[in-house]
């Protein structure tokens, strides 16, 4: 987490987006307050207490495991347009919503998520990363239609 704090201080990301309960909690505990938290109140599929952080708005969406719903996509897009701190509480699973966060976050933002038993992953949002996310989402849509 110290390394992430140093990178944040050096690069001053436009926004920090946290996907996942453990990573969101660790960011907050270490004084890094995400602009958007995407959580499902579970860690490793076990229910946990909601993260206590002051937000201006909380959205609630349904997103079954292994999917990315249209509702989740549009909510992430809407939340990232705001200039205030927001939280999206997912009924289902938030893991794949990292792709939507990369797609809709402003360039030069950081999307941070947890890699189980490994640590955290930080995606610096660039045009290239947005294109990658869009291509993956597009291929997922094709797969779900067939």
Task: Please name which of 102, 142, 143 lies closest in space to residue 125, comparing C-alpha atoms.
Answer: 102
Position 140 scores a pLDDT of 86
Task: Please name which of 4, 39, 45, 14 lies closest in space to residue 25, comparing C-alpha atoms.
Answer: 39
Distance CA 145, CA 10 (A): 43
Percentage above 70 pLDDT, the chain:
97
pLDDT digits (tens, 9 = 90+) for 33-50: 999 999 998 877 778 777
Work out the burial of residue 19: count CB atoms within 10 Å of its CB; fewer than 13 is exposed, 13-18 middle, 19 or more buried: buried
More reliable by pLDDT, 126 or 144: 126
| Structure token digits, residue 83 | 């200039």
Position 30 scores a pLDDT of 93
Residue 111 has pLDDT above 60, yes or no: yes
Strand-by-strand arrangement of the 119-124 sheet: 57-63, 86-92, 36-39, 16-19, 110-115, 119-124
Average pLDDT for 134-140:
93
More reliable by pLDDT, 54 or 127: 127
| Structure token digits, residue 8 | 């944040």
Position 118 scores a pLDDT of 87
Task: Please name which of 28, 134, 42 lies closest in space to residue 95, comparing C-alpha atoms.
Answer: 42
Position 146 scores a pLDDT of 40
Sign of CA dihedral 32, 33, 39, 42: positive
Position 142 scores a pLDDT of 58
Position 1 scores a pLDDT of 83
Confidence of residue 51 (pLDDT cuts 50, 70, 90): confident
Position 95 scores a pLDDT of 92
Q: What is the pTM of this model?
A: 0.92
């Amino acid at each position: 987490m110290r390394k992430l704090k140093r990178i944040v201080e050096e690069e001053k990301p436009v926004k920090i987006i946290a996907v996942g309960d453990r990573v969101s909690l660790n960011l907050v505990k270490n004084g890094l307050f995400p602009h958007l938290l995407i959580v499902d109140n579970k860690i490793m599929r076990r229910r946990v207490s909601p993260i206590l952080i002051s937000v201006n708005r909380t959205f609630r969406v349904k997103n079954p495991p292994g999917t990315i719903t249209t509702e989740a996509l549009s909510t992430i897009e809407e939340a990232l347009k705001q200039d205030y701190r927001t939280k999206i509480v997912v009924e289902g699973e938030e893991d794949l919503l990292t792709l939507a966060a990369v797609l809709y976050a402003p360039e030069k933002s950081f999307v941070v998520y947890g890699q189980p038993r490994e640590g955290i992953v930080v995606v610096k949002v660039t045009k290239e990363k947005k294109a990658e996310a869009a291509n993956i989402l597009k291929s997922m849509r094709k797969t779900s239609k067939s």
